[in-house]
Structure 1
């Protein structure tokens, strides 16, 4: 579905085939039974990564969703996430840049993506730097590739590097660079 964003003076495709294919690669295809995502502290997840953070429909571990329900809920959730994300862009992004940022927002929430250094670069029209910042810091270290855990006894927060998250971030960067001319 194409949507015009007046503040950007242009149109973006919401739920593009490229984005849906990318999400399917990283979130799974045909995941119709709700599971507790261990990397997200047991967050109930279904379909292509639907969680309570992107849909208002209750998601209950063990529940089985039909393909039709997945498609309907994913389409509505993607439209909500991408519409909110588009408001964070000050410059009309290339579609692949928008889709890569959308994948990031799907995984971390649009508020995190909107306040990221990647978005700061996108809003300066520096697409290549923004794409790179989806996966790497300016110092060349992985970003957005860690889970956190708070020790209930000490209250100390620790971070654990997750190679799978680093792989996804690198894939988002490569996907994003397809939109950079």
Structure 2
């Protein structure tokens, strides 16, 4: 059964409660006022990481979003992202934790980037443990990946908090 089939059959949940809680750990909770995310060069962001690239509604710095609006739009955005992610996952053995870990990664770096990642390539090839590890580490096993931001001058900077998130995603992925 395909991953979309597992979703349709209820074996894999979209916007699962554990995923929402996991995203809250990394994206914050109570972010009801649209702010300029410093790590994303001022990208307007609200709720649990909603941006102008994911939200169906405009984001204006300083605008207030109610908890109900955050929950509604987050659920919509997460589900939409997960359905797109499901289309690039071909390994029939993927379970909820792996799907949630990849969903968190995609929510943070973009679904197309996650789908094109070495991690998804390995997972699709049946190398689950190696693919999960690849969410946080380069092939040498010691160099962090997906934990850098590029500043306005084009310089890359390591962000320890992003690497902590990647390591947490890798742990969730393999559970």
Check whether TM > 0.5.
yes
TM-score using structure 1 length: 0.89
Report SS of the residue matched to 2:88: coil
Structure number with the higher strand fraction is: 1
- Superposition pairs of residues 89-128 of structure 1, within 5 angstroms: 89-92=89-92, 93-128=94-129
| Conservation of the 8 A alpha-carbon contact between 2:7 and 2:14 | no
How many Å separate the matches in 1 of 2:150 and 2:116? 19
> How large is the Cα RMSD of the aligned pairs?
1.7
Structure 1 ranges of 4+ moved more than 3 A: 6-11
Deviation at 1:150, TM superposition (A): 4.5
Question: Which range moved further: 34-43 or 10-19?
Answer: 10-19
Q: Please, which runs of 5 or more residues in structure 2 have no aligned partner? A: none
* Contact 2:98/2:174, CA 8 A, preserved across alignment: yes
Cα separation, partners in 2 of 1:81 and 1:124, compared to 1, 3 Å: same
1:139 is matched with 140
1:81 lines up with 2:81 in the alignment: yes
Q: After superposition, give the CA deviation of every residue in 1:111-143 in whole Å (9 maximum; x if it has no partner).
A: 000000000011012111111000001112100
Q: 1:8 to 1:76 in 2, by over 3 A?
A: closer
Higher helix proportion, which one? 2
Counterpart Cα distance in 1 of 2:69 and 2:38: 24
Structure 1, gaps ≥5 residues long: 152-156
Are 1:33 and 1:64, in contact at CA under 8 Å, matched by a contact in 2? Answer: yes
Match runs of 1:142-161 below 5 Å: 142-151=144-153, 157-161=154-158
